[in-house]
Amino acid sequence: MSGDPEQEYFADGMVEEIITALSRIRWLFVIARNSSFTYKGQAVDVKRVGRELGVRYVLEGSVRKAGGRVRITALLIDALSGTHLWADRFDGSLEDVFELQDKVAASVAGVIEPALQAAETQRSAGRPTDDLTAYDLYPRAAAMFLSSATKIPEALRLLEKAIERDRHYGPALAWAAVCCVRLRMDGRSEDLEADSRKGADFARRALQVAGDDPGILTNATKALAYFGEDIGAMIALVDHALALHPSFARGWYISGILRHWAGQPNVSIEHIEASLRLSPRAHANSVAPQVIGANHFLSLRFDQGVPKLLLAIQYDPNYPPSYRWLAACYAHLGCLDEARNIVKRLRGITHLVVPSHSHLRNPEQRELLLSGLRVAAGEAE
């Protein structure tokens, strides 16, 4: 937008970087550079672009340079309806052009993926229920899972129906495995051993068909790690997925969870925060404050853990782990009245107040949590 033709190379390079980053998202069909560049410099109708290229979504934007600074804007549009789905801007220094291009491309790819998933889920949810296919069932269940802890049993039922229709449907298998994790973790499982066996089976079957799909890999490894598989091996699988797809926000989120379970609280916080930077509006990140608060707890920063855990409860008041970690925080701070009150609220959503937390691999950290919970629960009796 500077009007300087010599700066055109920068804008072209930015477009190429973003196209490359988006192309790494396996479930997206991304138009190549040559076709996209035919619209360069034109005032075009997005609906016409969609028809001519055969795409449903269009990403457009601009680059404005002034001195040593640059501002990049990006806008994601539904090409059928013309609806604006997402918009943002990025400001940076030109001291390292290539580093800035990488940063913007990764950010755009990381934000666009959940935005498109949300749009596709919304489209799917509006279809007639009598015409549902395995594909229809899967995004409906995923959206249900991310909306509230109370909807996870129903999400699992939908995913199991999808798996009945296609026993090799990797995304449905992986999310079904995560549902089984949450049923146990939340205290909503009617048969702990059966759900553990079922969840591990779903996860192993998902890995068999995962290939390099980051969503399947990360969800399956989270489930297997929770059900007792070697945590180091599961972390290696997540690292592999992130090496292939560095803009995958949920991958960083699950990597943070695995590091939390492995007893690496500071690394866990770094990875959770990387997830939030890539996808600040994603529903999955409503649990992020709970994980960060729990990591502060494990690092004996109880006073820093409390506000994060209170925020997590605001995001989802039906998610039991937030209450458990918060009650333990209060107990170790000596705030027994507050701890007692949190346990009372916890009992209102689950009977399971002091679970084993065997997924926490460090025994000293596990005992730190359990001792605080026992104090809080004992005071609540």
The yes-or-no verdict on residue 69 having pLDDT over 50 is yes
Mean pLDDT of 17-31: 75
Q: Per the structure block, which two tokens stand in for 128?
A: 């007639």
Which helix (H) or strand (E) segment is 19 a member of?
Answer: helix 8-23
Least confident of 3-12, 156-165, 240-249: 3-12
The CATH number given to 5-110 is 3.30.160
pTM over 0.95: no
Identify the top-confidence range among 66-70, 111-115, 184-188, 278-282: 184-188
Q: Which of 250, 169, 213, 247 is nearest to 27 (CA)?
A: 213
Tell me the CATH class for 264-381.
Answer: mainly alpha
Topology (CATH) of 127-246: 1.25.40
- Which residues of the chain are in CATH 3.30.160 domains? 5-110
- Which residues of the chain are in CATH 1.25.40.10 domains? 127-246, 264-381
Mean pLDDT of 233-247: 90
pLDDT value at position 26?
66
pLDDT grade for 9, boundaries at 50, 70 and 90: low
The yes-or-no verdict on residue 118 having pLDDT over 90 is no
Q: How many helices (H) and strands (E) does the chain have?
A: 17, 3
pLDDT value at position 280?
67
The yes-or-no verdict on residue 291 having pLDDT over 70 is yes
Full DSSP string of 42-98: ----HHHHHHHHT-SEEEEEEEEEETTEEEEEEEEEETTT--EEEEEEEEEESTTHH
Mean pLDDT of 61-75: 81
pLDDT value at position 121?
55
Mean pLDDT of 31-56: 81
The yes-or-no verdict on residue 381 having pLDDT over 50 is no
pLDDT grade for 326, boundaries at 50, 70 and 90: very high
